[in-house]
Amino acid sequence: MKKNKKKASAKLLKFERKYTTFGIVALFVLWVVSFFAKVSLSSINVEVERLGKEVKKQEKTNQSLTMKINELASLENIQAVANSEGLAYNNGNIVIVNNE
């Protein structure tokens, strides 16, 4: 009876050791995966910040160019260019074209 108990106990210890080892390995693997996921997320966040700054810079450039277009398309500028080219501004000659 004692031998059966010792064999059962030995099998149980062997079984427990396997599961304990498996648990420790699984925890280590999860830790490594978590570490690399955080590193990857960090690099992605850096890239997002860089792209955000680039977008803001481009928006400022676009806004500056829009202001320049509006300045060049102003009535005073058109009249000055027309006068320098020997043309006259006549309101009666303006035709509105619809693209419908």
pLDDT at 33 (0 to 100): 97
User: Distance (Å, rounded) from C-alpha 6 to C-alpha 12?
Assistant: 10
Name the residue with higher pLDDT: 38 or 12: 38
pLDDT at 9 (0 to 100): 65
User: Tell me: the pLDDT tens digits for 58-72?
Assistant: 999 999 999 999 888
pTM of this structure: 0.53
User: Distance (Å, rounded) from C-alpha 70 to C-alpha 64?
Assistant: 10
For residue 94, give Cα distances in angstroms to 28, 76, 89, 90, 91: 78, 16, 9, 7, 6
DSSP 74: S
Q: Within 10 Å of residue 82's Cβ, how many Cβ atoms?
A: 13
pLDDT at 13 (0 to 100): 80
